[in-house]
Amino acid sequence: MIPKIIKVGGGDVAEVQIGGTLPLAFLGGPCAIETRAHALEMAERIGEVCVGLDIPWVYKSCYDKDCRSSENSFHGIGMDAGLDILAEVRSAYKIPVVSDFSDAAWAARTAETVDLLQIPAYLCRQTHVLKAAGETGKPLHVKKGQFMSPWNMKNSVRKIEATGNEQILLTDRGTFFGYNMLINDYRNFPIMLETGYPVCFDATHSVQMPTSMGNVSGGQREFIPHLVRAAAGAGINALFMEVHDNPNEALSDPNTQLDIRYLKNILAQAKAMHAARQELLEEWGEDRVHLDD
């Protein structure tokens, strides 16, 4: 199967191509849009790192956090206000932006602003959500549910394809391992690649410990670098990380967002690992260990 390449952005912002043997792309930003000033500052600072490392990237932040553990948690800045801020980030830095949506009725409005439309992991098999996303015609970033097997993501893909949309990025963000704990199964990358679509690794949500703290999710940020290096060597096309300048005070996912001071170090290694894998495959050929050998 010929690997598909998805194209995010273009026109008045940079075009980021993801897939095949293209260089590693990065999707990153604060989990939630907190304020206009914070969003712009984070876009500028992350952009400086990515430009310095020559890594194509997409700014990520969300206006609605519908999957919070508690009724009392920060739920987001709201769709209109959030999309206005994302539009300003997009315009100011000429970069594509990605945001998710949690209600099928929000898909079209969100797609008017964003370059890449994200389907949250918990909603990755919801037909109305997937159809609404597909019908926008925008490239889609679908996170594999923590409860989903990688092979069953094919059903989600087929639901989207039924709308005529074939611009899909599939992301692994960890798999439930008992209660309140995730584990990463790196077989998920080659299995999801069998759909033909590029795959992404969400490093910061992978270290999440869902609702482990009663009314909020915990996480072990210290494992982010290890998981990133392993994933970059395991055949991903893109890396996703939520990045914050003060994670402990973040309004959302304080226990898993990456402190921006570590971003350059981790992205540089991810890029090097990804490139090394490509070089090894060019030298030694693609993996050919098959069932019938």
Residue 121 or 191 with smaller CB distance to another protein? 191
Answer yes or no whether residue 149 interacts with another protein by CB under 8 A.
yes
Answer yes or no whether residue 277 interacts with another protein by CB under 8 A.
no
Least Å from the CB of residue 265 to another protein: 37
Among 17, 73, 152, 278, binds another protein (CB under 8 A): 152
Residue 30 or 150 with smaller CB distance to another protein? 150
Answer yes or no whether residue 286 interacts with another protein by CB under 8 A.
no
Answer yes or no whether residue 265 interacts with another protein by CB under 8 A.
no
Least Å from the CB of residue 151 to another protein: 4
Residue 155 or 246 with smaller CB distance to another protein? 155
Q: DSSP of the chain, one letter per residue?
A: -PPP-EEEE-TTS-EEEESTTSPPEEEEE-SB---HHHHHHHHHHHHHHHHHHT--EEEE-BS--TT-SSTTS---S-HHHHHHHHHHHHHHHT--EEEE-SSGGGHHHHHTT-SEEEE-GGGTT-HHHHHHHHHT-S-EEEEPPTT--TTTHHHHHHHHHTTT---EEEEE--EE-SSS-EE--TTHHHHHHTTSS-EEEEHHHHTEETTTTSSS-EE-GGGHHHHHHHHHHTT-SEEEEEEESSGGG-SS-TTTPEEGGGHHHHHHHHHHHHHHHHHHHHHH-S----TT-
Answer yes or no whether residue 154 interacts with another protein by CB under 8 A.
yes
Q: Near another protein by CB under 8 A, which window of 4-12, 42-50, 89-97, 151-159? A: 151-159
Which residues of the shown chain bind another protein in the complex (CB under 8 A)? 149, 151-152, 154-155, 158, 191, 291-292
